């Protein structure tokens, strides 16, 4: 059990749950749970989450030791491209499900993370890695994992404020006309197919930026900036503008679903990520090269074209 005494300053105001979350670094939902269980008191008296904070209060916060996660650790190959005391950034392989769920209780990224010699300080009272965002099963590349509550709260706040810069590489069908562009189209549940997402008038604001990285005949390799983070956002947006991703079985058409010769999975890769350290705010940057299978697809297209069809001027070689 970890205990902390918090003296409320004279300038404090607002709800008690929000104040305690800000001071402790715990998530607000976990603080609400602790308050409901009597682990946060004011001068020994019980309080409620929606109570107004009172300057001069002396709050006692008790954080129980985290309980083990009821998920089996599994030795699954895992590429870690960055690690510190706060977080991991892993390069997820295509085909790897991120979190255990119905139909995928084993063989997930979480199972693999638990098998590492890593100390997880507890996320909302459970000793587990903190998954703050996800990648589709068939999308490869970079994914952040928090090691403790404070880190998770920081990463989630950065994501909400659009402070995390995430750039993907995607191969799309067709010659994308504009060298750079921005897709702004609301995304929500497809009214005709409830398991899919779609551009719909009453959907949530969704923004994707793109730059042409390489033109390869009937295909275009794009760099894609995920400004917002809606479910299947990149896949939906690209299909909506008539350039579906290669190898996409859900949002593609016949040609794009098959992809160029050698395509065996969705051609979408989380390539670069930039964020602030939860501890001191310094900038953390990580990149992950395309998996060999995706690079082979590009090399096949280059060979067909007799060399590069056209690369954005600033992106010959290593991108700027």
pLDDT at 233: 97
pLDDT at 26: 83
**What contacts 313, CB < 8 A, 6 or more positions away?**
none
**Which 8-state DSSP code applies to residue 190?**
E
Interior angle at CA 305, CA 302 and CA 308, nearest 5: 55
Rounded mean pLDDT, 241-253: 97
pLDDT at 229: 92
Q: Which helix (H) or strand (E) holds 91?
A: strand 87-92
- Give the active site residues: 136
pLDDT at 310: 45
pTM recorded for the entire structure: 0.81
Which tens digits make up the pLDDT trace of 20-44?
A: 988 888 888 889 999 999 999 998 8
**CA-to-CA separations, 153 to 158, 188, 203, 214, 295, in angstroms, rounded:** 9, 26, 26, 38, 36
- For residues 172 and 144, give the distance between their C-alpha atoms in angstroms, rounded to a whole number: 26
Residue identified by tokens 């998996």 is 291
pLDDT at 320: 34
**Residue with the larger pLDDT of the pair 235 and 124:** 235
**CA-to-CA separations, 202 to 17, 34, 97, 189, 220, in angstroms, rounded:** 32, 36, 30, 10, 30
pLDDT at 305: 84
Q: Which domains, and CATH codes, for the chain?
A: 2-64 (3.10.290.10), 68-160 (3.30.2350.10), 165-315 (3.30.2350.10)
pLDDT at 64: 82
- For residues 202 and 189, give the distance between their C-alpha atoms in angstroms, rounded to a whole number: 10
- For residues 171 and 219, give the distance between their C-alpha atoms in angstroms, rounded to a whole number: 7
pLDDT at 71: 84
247: left (phi over 0), alpha (psi -120 to 50) or beta: left
pLDDT at 102: 65
């Amino acid at each position: 059990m970890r205990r902390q005494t918090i003296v409320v300053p004279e300038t404090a105001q607002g709800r008690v749950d929000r104040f305690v979350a800000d001071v402790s670094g715990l998530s607000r939902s976990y603080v609400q749970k602790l308050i409901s269980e009597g682990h946060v008191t004011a001068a020994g008296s019980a309080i409620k989450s929606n109570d107004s904070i009172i300057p001069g209060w002396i709050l006692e916060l008790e954080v129980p030791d985290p309980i083990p996660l009821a998920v089996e650790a599994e030795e699954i190959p895992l590429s870690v491209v960055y690690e510190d005391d706060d977080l991991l950034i892993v390069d997820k392989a295509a085909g790897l499900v991120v979190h255990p769920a119905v139909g995928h209780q084993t063989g997930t990224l979480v199972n693999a993370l638990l098998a590492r010699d890593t100390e997880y300080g507890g996320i909302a009272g459970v000793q587990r890695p903190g998954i703050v965002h996800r990648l589709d099963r068939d999308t490869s590349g970079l994914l952040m994992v928090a090691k403790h509550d404070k880190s998770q709260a920081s990463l989630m706040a950065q994501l909400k404020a659009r402070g995390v810069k995430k750039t993907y590489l995607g191969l799309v069908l067709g010659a994308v006309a504009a060298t750079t562009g921005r897709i702004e189209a609301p995304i929500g549940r497809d009214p005709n197919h409830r398991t899919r997402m779609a551009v719909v008038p009453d959907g949530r604001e969704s923004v994707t930026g793109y730059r042409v990285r390489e033109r390869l005949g009937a295909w275009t390799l794009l760099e894609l900036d995920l400004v917002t983070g809606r479910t299947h956002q990149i896949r939906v947006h690209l299909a909506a503008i008539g350039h579906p991703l290669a190898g996409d079985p859900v949002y593609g058409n016949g040609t794009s679903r098959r992809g160029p010769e050698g395509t065996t999975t969705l051609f979408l890769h989380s390539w670069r990520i930039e964020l602030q350290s939860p501890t001191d705010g310094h900038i953390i940057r990580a990149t992950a090269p395309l998996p060999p299978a995706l690079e082979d697809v590009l090399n096949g297209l280059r060979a067909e074209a007799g060399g590069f069809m056209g690369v954005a001027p600033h992106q010959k070689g290593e991108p700027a």
